[in-house]
Amino acid sequence: MSKILVTGGAGYIGSHTSLALLQAGFEVVVLDNLSNSSAEALRRVAQITGRAPSFVQADVRDGAMLKEVFAQHPIDTVLHFAGLKAVGESVAQPLRYVDNNVHGSQVLLQAMADAGVFKLVFSSSATVYGEPAQMPIAESCPVGRPTNPYGRSKLMVEDMLRDLAAADQRWRMAILRYFNPVGAHETGLLGEDPRGTPNNLVPYMAQVVVGRLPELAVYGNDYPTADGTGVRDYIHVVDLAEGHLRALQALHFRSGAHVWNLGTGQGYSVLDMIRAFEVASGRPVPYRIAPRRPGDIAICYADPTKARLELDWVARRGLPEMMSDTWRWQHMNPAGYG
Ligand code: NAD
Ligand code: UD1
């Protein structure tokens, strides 16, 4: 039986997607260097599904190792999550982001071509739209100039994929532009476990509520939005994982490189998020208004129509579920995977 290779499969989105793949009956090989994750996530995946993915601890930049993996396993498709994602870090260490995200993808693509594997699902980001020209953002909206080196690394990989698909018709590629993934698996066993102080709103808020951090800084209340705080399209990570399975199916009868937004189409402000988390946790979220964060945009939410029509996929989980699943994960695992 053919298998799916999941790079970065021990990470936040990769672990939830590996779980969904196993539950759908796929054979899964995870390749991860554990630079931002723990093998415990894969043990939890096995605990929930009753099936363990094969695990290779390796770096996607290691072409010789990839060659071995493709020789050992009958891999049909690659889901490529492996990469670095911290915006601030990318500003301080831009070359590291080019090396890991862009060069890493190049090495992987070469190894795939050498092994005759031409189906790929790539984790891109709404950040490639830069300062969006229209709202909601459809895939037809031109990509902009991302506000940071992390975002530019995603756009460089997207361009590399489009060039490759144009040069060789054997490639079948899904470029998935995620909006803001949040939430956790409903069991509370899998979730987001950021190293150090979280950069993103929801994990930060969750750590404030359990007392690991003193208070949340709300970055700006003078944006042109209903309550002045930034608006984003938060999407449950399990909905996102399901989107990958639909993209995988869509590649059976589509060649070339295709882009799909994975978002809900619904925007929530930072204050909406605080209130929803207070309801889910039954606890207050102490916060103060702080200056805007450089590089932030006011509003960003998806037009998810293309994914609905072409992938038959819609996000089904609403904000209360996103927040209660985050809270269950945080509550059951106050120190993450430990
Ligand atoms: P994550 O850090 O939890 O997962 C990434 C995984 O890749 C980690 O397990 C890490 O150890 C591994 N990894 C990193 N570099 C590697 C390398 N060179 N070789 C092998 N493994 C490597 O992040 P995530 O939130 O699960 O994100 C997954 C992907 O989705 C990333 O490519 C990210 O840029 C993209 N993305 C994430 C978000 C988000 O908000 N989480 C939004 C848009 C796009
Ligand atoms: C950020 C990244 C983006 C990346 C995405 C997912 C930036 C500029 N953008 O998006 O490139 O793809 O994460 O990893 O970093 N907020 C607060 N207080 C906080 C944290 C956030 O008020 O402590 C606000 C932000 O101003 C924003 C919203 O919450 O309005 C969401 O922020 P965040 O979770 O960091 O995601 P993005 O900024 O959308």
**Residue at 241 is within a domain:** yes
Best of 32, 56, 93 for a ligand 1 pocket test (most atoms within 8 Å of beta carbon): 32
Q: Is 177 in the pocket of ligand 1 (CB under 6 A)?
A: no
Q: 36 with 260: CB under 8 angstroms?
A: no
Residue 164: inside a domain, yes or no?
Answer: yes
| pLDDT per residue as tens digits for the range 8-34 | 999 999 999 999 999 999 999 999 999
Give the Cα separation of 132 and 302 in Å (integer): 11
At which residue do the structure tokens 């950040």 appear? 127
Q: Helices in 60-148 by DSSP H: which ranges?
A: 63-72, 87-92, 94-97, 104-115
**Ligand 2 proximity of 36 Cβ (cutoff 6 Å):** no
pLDDT number for residue 28: 98
Annotated catalytic residue within 12, 97, 129, 150: 150
Averaged pLDDT of the chain = 97
Q: What is the pLDDT of residues 226-240, one digit of tens each?
A: 999 999 999 999 999
What is the predicted pLDDT for the residue at 2? 85
- pLDDT tens for 98-124 read 999 999 999 999 999 999 999 999 999
Query: Given pLDDT bands bounded at 50, 70 and 90, which one contains residue 52?
Result: very high
Let me know if residue 285 belongs to a domain: no
**Where in the sequence is the domain holding 68, given as residue range(s)?**
3-184+234-264
Calculate how far, in angstroms, residue 293's C-alpha sits from the geometric centre of ligand 2.
9
Residue 159 located in a structural domain = yes
Looking at residue 23, which CATH number applies to its domain? 3.40.50.720
pLDDT tens digit string along 31-50?
999 999 999 999 999 999 99
Cβ–Cβ under 8 Å, residues 20 and 244: yes
150 included as an active-site residue: yes
Is 212 within a domain?
no
280: left (phi over 0), alpha (psi -120 to 50) or beta: alpha
Is residue 300, in this structure, part of any structural domain at all? no
Question: pTM for this structure?
Answer: 0.98
- Determine if ligand 1 sits within 6 Å of the CB of residue 33: yes
How many folded domains does the chain comprise? 1
In a domain, 252, yes or no: yes
Residue 67 included in any domain: yes
Q: Of 11, 83, 12, 9, whose CA–CA distance to 53 is shortest?
A: 9
Say if ligand 1 is within 6 A of residue 277 CB: no
* pLDDT of res. 133: 82
pLDDT score, position 1: 75
Q: Tell me whether residue 288 is exposed, middle or buried, using C-beta atoms within 10 angstroms of its C-beta: 0 to 12, 13 to 18, 19 or more.
A: exposed
